Amino acid sequence: MIRHITSAIGLISASLSGYTADVCARPIDLEIEVTITEFGPNGKSWDGVRVYLLPFEATTVTPPEPAICVYTDRGESACAPNVSTLASPCPDSFRCAFKVRIAEPFQYLTISVFDIDAFGRETGREVAQLIGQSLKSVEELVERDLSSEQIERGAIAVNERRWTWVETVSFQRSIADGERPERDVRSETLARQHAAMIVPPQLTAFDRGRIAAPFDLRPLGDCLYPMPACSYGYATVLIRSEALEEEMSGWD
């Protein structure tokens, strides 16, 4: 009888373990609410410029167009909106809520906040096309291939990079009380490399600037609803997820 009871307990335990693993393997839907500060690290507005023509002042300054990308220790990434678009779901707004789905189980999560600035995009495209046309004329004159089409495509592609990096923060999902979160190199490296690929060209090396500093690292529960939003230098972040909220409420 004891043997049968032990076997039954083993089967139940195995079933529960399998159920837990299955739950952890399910996709996680996240709603991430971000608020961007009014001014960037240089003390200026994120979008647009002020033009002074005495005695008048003109401005193209507008509130930011928020966007985010998330990265995990499994190498997964997801952006909202897609990086190929220049339209934020919250135009001219300092606050926006984004929905993303993480398909693979993760232990570490890194979130990057961006501002989309499409100002000057059409002018940049026209300039790139003008450069290409000018080089084509020179090619015909000197009867040499100067790679005009390749240069034009490259200039247009660079001009499309309109996502300005605002902030990146990191989280560890499961952590025992009293323990400090550990940093995940993979997700943070992915975040840095991706940001460098989509931000506009800069006079200084972007990957050796502010983004090279260690990201703020916290337990995921610190910024998970119903906790208040976490404040950082240039943004606040609040994460909502029914699955994660249920998971972490079981730790109490």
Distance CA 45, CA 48 (A): 7
Same domain, 241 and 131: no
In a domain? residue 219: yes
**Tally of domains in the chain:** 2
Q: End of a domain among 97, 132, 159?
A: 159
* Res. 125: pLDDT tops 60: no
Over residues 70-86, the pLDDT tens digits come to 999 999 999 999 988 87
More confidently predicted of 247 and 211 = 211
Over residues 100-118, the pLDDT tens digits come to 999 999 999 999 999 998 6
- pLDDT-wise least confident of 112-126, 160-174, 189-203: 112-126
Q: Which domain holds residue 227?
A: 27-35+64-118+162-249
Q: What is the pTM of this model?
A: 0.71
**First-to-last C-alpha distance (Å) of the chain:** 37
Same domain, 131 and 231: no
Q: End of a domain among 96, 127, 159?
A: 159
In a domain? residue 94: yes
More confidently predicted of 152 and 141 = 141
CATH code, domain carrying 205: 2.60.40
* Res. 95: pLDDT tops 60: yes
At residue 60, the 3 state secondary structure works out as: coil
- pLDDT-wise least confident of 25-29, 82-86, 87-91, 150-154: 150-154
Kindly list the distances between the CA atom of residue 68 and the CA atoms of 8, 112, 180, 237, in Å, as whole numbers in the listed order.
48, 6, 26, 11
How many CB atoms are closer than 10 A to CB 29?
14
Same domain, 189 and 240: yes
Tally the residues of the chain: 252
Nearest residue to 27 via CA among 68, 89, 74, 82: 74
User: Residue 34: CA atoms inside 13 Å, Cβ hemisphere, count?
Assistant: 31
More confidently predicted of 83 and 96 = 96
Same domain, 151 and 208: no
pLDDT class for 156, splitting at 50, 70, 90? Answer: very low
Q: What is the pLDDT of residue 47?
A: 61
Kindly list the distances between the CA atom of residue 9 and the CA atoms of 17, 21, 36, 143, 192, in Å, as whole numbers in the listed order.
12, 18, 52, 84, 48
